[in-house]
Structures are given as structure tokens and as C-alpha cells.
Amino acid sequence: MSAHPYQYVVLRCVPRVDREEFLNVGVVVYSQSADVLVLEAGLDHDRLHAAFPSLDVDCAEEVLDGIRALVRTVDEGGAARGLRDRGAAFGWLSAPRSTVIQPGPVHGGVAPDPRAEAVDLAQRLAHGQAHSR
């Protein structure tokens, strides 16, 4: 079985950018050679409320739903935000932004199945403790 290089970003819930505190909530994985763009994410409302009592979780869900819709649309061959291919969509998703759901730095790896790797990364990285820089 051949291995595919991939890139990924961890998605972070950042309620207050000025405090630089966040919880990881998912990952986006892109592999050009496997033709894969996949999102594995979800918000643990209890955990988010415990860490950030004033967080508007519904707003965070709306932002995450928008990311889900973009990935799904592009993955199905459509255009979202003018993005027609998986690489362009990953570039847009991994670009720094100031919103309640933000991407971390881009990382890379190699795996036989980047979709399965996305599930593994989400399990290992998006269910950790609160972080701050």
C-alpha cells in the first residue's frame, strides 16, 4: 500500500483572541496525491462552557458549520467561496484569521489513508486540555 503525503491544521476555539487561550476542536487534512480534503471536528459544549463560561457556543457552532459546508461542497466537486479545488480550499481554511474558530499552524505527515489519519489526529489532538501561548 502506498503512502500519501498530507498537510493538516488543528482547528481551535478561541473565544478571546487577546488572551490567546484556546481549546482544540478538530482537524482539517488535505492530501493532493490522495485527492482528499476532510474535516473531523466537533464541539464539546460542556468542556467549552467549563473553560470559557461566557462563550457563545451557538456562534462557534455556526462558524464550524460553515467550515463543514465548505469542505463538503468542495469535496463533492462544487465551488464554495470561489474555491473549486481541495488545495485552494485547504489554503483558505489554513489561513490565519480572527474568529472564534481558528486554524493553528500547518503540519505535515505521510499516511496510507489520509482520511483515517484525520480521524486519528482528531482523537489525539482535539480532545486535549486548554492551551495558551
Instruction: Tell me the three cell numbers of residue 97.
Output: 484569521
pTM score of the predicted model: 0.89
User: What does the alpha-carbon distance between residue 9 and residue 31 come to, in Å, rounded to a whole number?
Assistant: 12
Instruction: Tell me the three cell numbers of residue 131.
Output: 492551551
pLDDT (tens digit per residue) in 96-131:
988 899 999 999 999 999 999 999 999 999 865 433
Instruction: Tell me the three cell numbers of residue 53.
Output: 463560561
User: What does the alpha-carbon distance between residue 80 and residue 58 come to, in Å, rounded to a whole number?
Assistant: 22
Return the domain boundaries, the chain: 4-10+27-103+113-132
Instruction: Tell me the three cell numbers of residue 86.
Output: 481541495
Q: Are 19 and 107 in contact (CB under 8 A)?
A: no
Alpha-carbon torsion (72, 78, 81, 82), positive or negative: positive
Over range 72-91, report the average pLDDT: 82
